[in-house]
Structure 1
Amino acid sequence: MSALTLPGPVAAYFAADMQGPEAVARCFTAQGVVKDKGQTHIGREAIKAWKAEAVTLYTCTNEPFLIEHEHGVHTVHSHVAGNFASSPIDLKFVFRLERGLVANLEITL
């Protein structure tokens, strides 16, 4: 089986996900947006706070296994397992990129 090839900013996001909130926030544009669990987080500080809260609540692994690209959007399907009620679960990470950074990320089922 061949390794999954992700666009640079998407690969950077998944790598930063293991490094912490500050690293995750740096993957986004200044006005980047994250939509997760019915909430919207706008800007690097809000994204950093979103990730900081998530790491205090959950410990998990994230293993991307499929990527689709359509209409300028990259959808990454990832197997997520950890200490949360629905674990393990496959989630979609829907990225819109801008100037080599993530402009928008929506995490869905």
Structure 2
Amino acid sequence: MTTLILPDPIAAYFAADQKAPETVARCFTAQATVRDEDKTHSGRDAIAAWRSEAAAKYTYTTEPFELDVNDGHPVVCCHVAGNFPGSPVDLRYHFRLERGLIASLEIAP
């Protein structure tokens, strides 16, 4: 089995995913955006609120299994399973990194 080596900001994001929303938000730049479930969340406060809302609604696990590059930006494929409609599902996390942090993230099938 090959260990997936992720860029540091992305590894930090997945390590923080099940922790406090503020820990997740610190993985992002101050003006970062997250697009998930057809909604865009801009800035660390909105990103923390997005994580808090998701944690209140769902219990899930995220297992990254592949790292690709699209137009020079990392895309991580993850197996996500939990108590949400359509579980389990494989999702693609499209990242744009800036100064050692995440500048944008789009989560899509």
TM-score range (shorter-chain normalised) is over 0.9
1:9-28 superposed matches below 5 A: 9-28=9-28
> Which contiguous aligned blocks of 4+ residues in structure 1 show a shift greater than 4 angstroms?
none
* TM-score, normalised via structure 1 length: 0.97
RMSD (Å) for aligned C-alpha atoms: 0.7
Matched residue of 1:50: which SS? helix
| Deviation (angstroms), 1:70 | 3.0
* Superposed displacement of residue 32, structure 1: 0.5
2:79 aligned with 1:79: yes
Q: How many residues align?
A: 109
Partner of 2:89: 89
Amino acid in structure 2 at the alignment position of 1:55 = A
Aligned equivalent of 2:68: 68
CA distance in 2: counterparts of 1:75 and 1:60, whole angstroms: 20
Question: Which segments of 5 or more consecutive residues in structure 2 lack a partner in the other structure?
Answer: none
Q: CA deviation at 1:18?
A: 1.8
**What secondary structure does 1:53 align onto?**
helix
Give 1:43's aligned amino acid.
G
1:44-79 alpha-carbon deviations (Å, 9 max, x no partner) = 000000000000000000000000013231100000
- TM-score where L is the length of structure 2: 0.97
